[in-house]
């Protein structure tokens, strides 16, 4: 199994700089302090291994955690004395989005007819993720829970006021699977023509139930839920998930259950709306089918 090489317009080196650059305002995590002190080791830890997966992939144990995935990928980590746990936190931060979406794909999307069009709504960090980490999405999503493999053909459209609309489209392949990344629209989903539809929607840490955010989300959420398509929602804390659950129950009569996400980021930061609330990206997740 060999990865088809594509030009990487976003590399993991500037991604480390972006992580560290955001720390001064909101982040309160020892792994980022460690990365500032040990930048070379941190950067080496963030570099994915080669793209040839183990030959015995079909005998691989189920992957239930970041640790399971890194073991499967034979990802090189520093020794315990050199900061293994800190490195693991950094890796979880950059892999959280692709592995969480891959988990959703394996559980809810793999039986849909290809190509599958996915809309990442309110995209922020997801739209700046280096290409090599989206390759990890392909590797994980190509392996179904029963350890059979299925080719992935996915188009991801980023929509949101924070994306960069002039980013070139990117096509990434691994083995016979492909994902295409398209920076579709800088603005709100509900402002697009109703004729524009997708097979599935992903909202990463949207805060749809937060008092300061829920009114802005309402027209977009109305449109998404009206479509009847599968939806992935993540929340950056239990408090956040409780607010979202309450809103979905009260406004849409939906009974959803958030579960702790085994592929959550382990980097903790301060909620910009509440200095006493510390959160982790994609800490909880739920699916609406």
Does some domain include residue 6? no
Q: Residue 58's pLDDT is what?
A: 55
Domain count, the chain: 1
Q: Residue 149's pLDDT is what?
A: 59
The percent of residues above 90 in pLDDT, for the chain, comes to 72
Question: Which run of H or E residues covers position 46?
Answer: helix 39-46
The number of beta carbons lying within 10 Å of the beta carbon of residue 42 is 23
What are 52-105's pLDDT values in tens digits?
776 555 556 788 999 999 999 999 999 998 899 999 999 999 999 999 999 999
Residue 174 exposed, middle or buried by CB count within 10 Å (0-12, 13-18, 19+): buried
What are 191-212's pLDDT values in tens digits?
999 999 999 999 999 999 999 9
Rounded distance between C-alpha atoms, residue 162 and residue 164, angstroms: 7
pTM for this one?
0.88
Over its C-alpha atoms, the chain yields an Rg (Å, rounded) of 18
Q: State the residue for tokens 């849409």.
A: 252
219: confidence class by pLDDT, cuts 50, 70, 90: very high
**Tokens at 22, concatenated:** 């955001």
Q: What rounded mean pLDDT belongs to the chain?
A: 88
Does some domain include residue 234? yes
3: confidence class by pLDDT, cuts 50, 70, 90: very low
Does some domain include residue 241? yes
Q: Residue 23's pLDDT is what?
A: 46
Q: Residue 246's pLDDT is what?
A: 98
Does some domain include residue 2? no
Does some domain include residue 225? yes
272: confidence class by pLDDT, cuts 50, 70, 90: confident
Does some domain include residue 4? no
**Tokens at 15, concatenated:** 């991604």
Boundaries of domain holding 39: 12-288
Does some domain include residue 212? yes
Does some domain include residue 3? no
């Amino acid at each position: 199994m060999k990865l088809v090489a594509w030009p990487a317009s976003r590399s993991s080196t500037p991604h480390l700089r972006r992580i560290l650059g955001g720390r001064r305002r909101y982040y309160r995590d020892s792994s980022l302090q460690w990365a500032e002190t040990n930048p070379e080791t941190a950067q080496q830890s963030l570099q994915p291994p080669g793209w040839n997966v183990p030959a015995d992939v079909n005998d691989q144990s189920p992957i239930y955690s970041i640790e399971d995935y890194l073991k499967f990928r034979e990802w090189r980590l520093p020794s315990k004395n050199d900061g293994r746990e800190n490195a693991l936190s950094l890796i979880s931060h950059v892999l959280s989005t692709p592995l969480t979406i891959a988990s959703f794909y394996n559980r809810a999307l793999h039986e849909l007819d290809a190509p599958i069009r996915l809309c990442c709504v309110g995209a922020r960090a997801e739209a700046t993720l280096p290409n090599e980490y989206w390759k990890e999405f392909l590797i994980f999503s190509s392996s179904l829970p029963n350890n059979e493999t299925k080719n992935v053909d996915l188009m991801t459209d980023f929509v949101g006021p924070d994306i960069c609309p002039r980013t070139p489209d990117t096509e990434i392949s691994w083995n016979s699977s492909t994902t295409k990344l398209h920076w579709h629209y800088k603005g709100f989903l509900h402002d697009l023509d109703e004729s524009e539809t997708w097979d599935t929607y992903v909202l990463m840490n949207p805060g749809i139930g937060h008092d300061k955010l829920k009114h802005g989300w309402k027209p977009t959420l109305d449109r998404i839920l009206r479509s009847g398509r599968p939806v992935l929602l993540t929340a950056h804390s239990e408090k956040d998930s409780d607010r979202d659950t309450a809103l979905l129950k009260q406004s849409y009569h939906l009974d959803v259950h958030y579960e702790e996400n085994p592929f959550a980021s382990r980097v903790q930061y301060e909620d910009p709306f509440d200095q006493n609330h510390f959160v982790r990206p994609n800490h909880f997740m739920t699916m609406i089918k």
